[in-house]
Amino acid sequence: MKYVVADIHGCYEEFKELMQKINISKKDHLYILGDTLDRGPEPMKVLLNLMNRHNMTYIIGNHDYLFLYFISKLELNLSKTEGMSEEDISDFQSYLEDGGLSSIEAFMKLSEEEKQTVCDFLKEGNVYGDVMIGDKRYVLVHAGISGFREDKALDEYDFLDFICERTDYSRRYYRDGSTYVITGHTPTMYINADSSPNVYIGNGHIAIDCGCVYGGKLAAYCIEDGSIVYIEAKNGGNV
């Protein structure tokens, strides 16, 4: 089976429980729609767990990109800021305040080899997924598709087009009713009419960031049969 999970944000205990609950095996495939890092208590534990999985496709999110950007600027050394502009330093401070501190602190505890491996893994991440199941097509992105045009091929977009702009869930992107866009990034509490932390399905969209780090849920959506498995956030969330 093929499962999609998004926006784990360092919620390691919930992620472990979710993997146990879906009983994921080597025969299954796991798609991660980015933002494993930041905000939650154990982002590196989640990322290292994913890096050890052979049946996994990682799609980059905006928090992953910002983490990699600043770590690259600092050359894996947080004491090195002389090569950064005042704007970069200000942006780095904003990133830390927006949840990046948990990732940076955990990263600095890794060995030099582990640090490099983490950076290499993120650099090799995908910017989108395009999955066919029977006659149905699933486009997998972290946030949305900026400047979307139905006649524009996915590989013609810039990678930033997939990781920053929020999806407009009020309109269908693809007129073909057998094509769906699966996204994270926007917590479904802000999409669902009843503000519930449940997967949103409508207008050809499947939104699966159920806001675990904010006290909602961590969800795994099964592409083949549309089933959903939830894990409730522990301790009311982590931020």
Q: What DSSP assignment string belongs to 119-136?
A: HHHHHT-BS-EEEEETTE
| Distance from the Cα of residue 128 to its chain's centroid | 11
| pTM of this structure | 0.94
Residues 6+ apart with CB under 8 A from 101: none
pLDDT for position 239: 65
pLDDT tens for 39-98 read 999 999 999 999 999 899 999 999 999 999 888 877 655 555 566 677 877 888 888 888
How many Å is the Cα radius of gyration of the chain?
Answer: 17
3-class SS at 176?
coil
Compute the distance between CA of residue 186 and CA of residue 3 in angstroms, rounded to an integer. Answer: 19
pLDDT for position 81: 59
- Helix axis angle, 101-108 to 43-51, nearest 10°: 60
Round to the nearest angstrom and report the end-to-end CA distance of the chain: 32
Helical ranges in 124-239 per DSSP H: none
pLDDT for position 221: 98
Mean per-residue pLDDT over the chain, rounded: 93
Encoding tokens for residue 195? 């503000």
Half-sphere exposure of 137 (CA within 13 A, CB side): 10
Contact 33, 57 (CB under 8 A): no
Low-confidence ranges of the chain (pLDDT < 70): 75-84, 236-237, 239
- Phi/psi for 144 (5° steps) reads 180, -160
pLDDT for position 72: 83
